[in-house]
Structure 1
Amino acid sequence: MYVSTDGQTWGTPVATGEFPNSIAAQRVNFTATPGRFVKFVGTSSLNGAVFGSAAELNVYGTR
């Protein structure tokens, strides 16, 4: 997970990790980071597929 203030400069990830092979909702918590844009980057896939997917992405935070 990356956070950016301008949508072009991403810096280092605010969170990294792996998701289990599950259809259950997954949660990624990270320290509050100022920004307007969030980018989720998948670096691998299930069973060597050439694609990945996310059905829904919700971002919660404080202002």
Structure 2
Amino acid sequence: MTNPENFADHREAMIRFSQIAGALGSAYIFTHEKKYVEALLPHLNGWFIDRETMMNPNLLYGQSIMG
């Protein structure tokens, strides 16, 4: 059960990133075409490398409601 008033945009972005990464990674595994890796690189850069946009989670701001 989740609080419907919670800010969920980051969770939705993470889900979308996992879908994109999974699809492009799988496409590369099956085809060995470099274009799929090249399409994934901007996403990886944005999430993990670029200091302006990279995700930097802090569990101090996470929350859970038991029960």
The structure whose RCO (Cα within 8 Å, separation 6+) is larger is 1
Same fold (TM over 0.5): no
Higher CA-based Rg = 2
TM-score, normalised relative to structure 2? 0.18
Write 1 or 2 for the structure with the bigger share of strand: 1
